[in-house]
Amino acid sequence: GAGVSQSPSNKVTEKGKDVELRCDPISGHTALYWYRQSLGQGLEFLIYFQGNSAPDKSGLPSDRFSAERTGGSVSTLTIQRTQQEDSAVYLCASSSVGGSTDTQYFGPGTRLTVL
Amino acid sequence: GDSVTQMEGPVTLSEEAFLTINCTYTATGYPSLFWYVQYPGEGLQLLLKATKADDKGSNKGFEATYRKETTSFHLEKGSVQVSDSAVYFCALRYLGGSQGNLIFGKGTKLSVKP
């Protein structure tokens, strides 16, 4: 595809429900990142994948958050038992190899609202 | 820990005014530095980057120079346009390590009036 795509673009859920957010990176990109953008916290790093492995999960805010990547392509971020403080825009980015000078290309984001 | 500090917004300028958005960083290593821009209703886009000291990144009339001595990466543009209205994020990323994630400043909202 031409760029990073994310789905859904908007998600409204009730407190306590589980949600799944999907990211389709640019074809051939081995590195994939999840970030969260919220009013209070700005842009926060959540997790990084190199291929299907996640060497760095340090940014996940709690054990309710998990992510996986299969086939070195699509990634899913799952939030269990959602809380109101999880409301944010969740951004996915990919880069070709994950090097420090690599450009990260961002998707349009999924806006999550927890009622 | 590592961090990026950028000037608080919002910044409001008239068209053709000179723009500076200050950005300083704290890092234990030697990061690459980036400016990303988020136009209204759109996703984050890379504006420019610099990977080592004294490098100058430039794009669309914007410039920023990697100043190791002052740990700064200020964004400048000589003459802003209404279309430059957006939120600008300064970010750093490490040369080494397994992470590769970006560490962002809180963003500066720029509004340019005709």
Whether B80 and B58 have beta carbons less than 8 Å apart is answered as: no
Closest-CA distance, B110 to chain A, in angstroms, reads 16
Closest-CA distance, B34 to chain A, in angstroms, reads 9
Q: What is the mean pLDDT of chain B?
A: 91
Residues of A in contact with B103 (CB under 8 A): 45
pLDDT at A115: 95
Residues of B in contact with A94 (CB under 8 A): none
Residues 33-62, chain A, touching B (beta carbon < 8 A):
33, 35, 42-43, 45, 48, 50, 55-56, 59
Residues of A in contact with B100 (CB under 8 A): 31, 33, 48, 95, 98-100, 102
CB hemisphere CA count around A109 (13 angstroms): 19
pLDDT at A101: 66
Between residues A85 and A98, which one has the greater pLDDT? A85
In this prediction, residues B91-104 reach a mean pLDDT of 73
Q: Of A42, A91, A98, which has the smallest distance from its Cβ to B100's Cβ?
A: A98
| Residue where the block lists tokens 């209404």 | B82
In this prediction, residues B78-99 reach a mean pLDDT of 84
Residues of A in contact with B105 (CB under 8 A): 42
Q: Print burial letters for A100-113: b (CB count within 10 Å at least 16), e (below 16).
A: bebebbbbbbbebe
Using the predicted structure, report yes or no on whether residue A40 has a pLDDT greater than 80.
no
Using pLDDT thresholds of 50, 70 and 90, give the confidence band for residue B6: very high
- Whether residue B49 lies within 8 A of chain A, CB to CB, comes out as yes
Between residues A56 and A85, which one has the greater pLDDT? A85
Most B CBs within 10 Å, among A5, A43, A45, to test the B interface: A43
Whether B87 and B107 have beta carbons less than 8 Å apart is answered as: yes
The DSSP code sequence of B3-62 is: EEEE--S-EEEETT--EEE-EEEE-SS--EEEEEEE-TTS-EEEEEEE-STT-EEEETTE
pLDDT at B95: 52
d(CA A38, CA A85): 9
pLDDT at B99: 59
Which one-letter DSSP state was computed for residue A25?
P
Q: Of B31, B45, B101, which has the smallest distance from its Cβ to A33's Cβ?
A: B101
A78-87 residue pLDDT tens: 999 999 999 9
Residues of B in contact with A103 (CB under 8 A): 46, 49
Using the predicted structure, report yes or no on whether residue A99 has a pLDDT greater than 70.
no
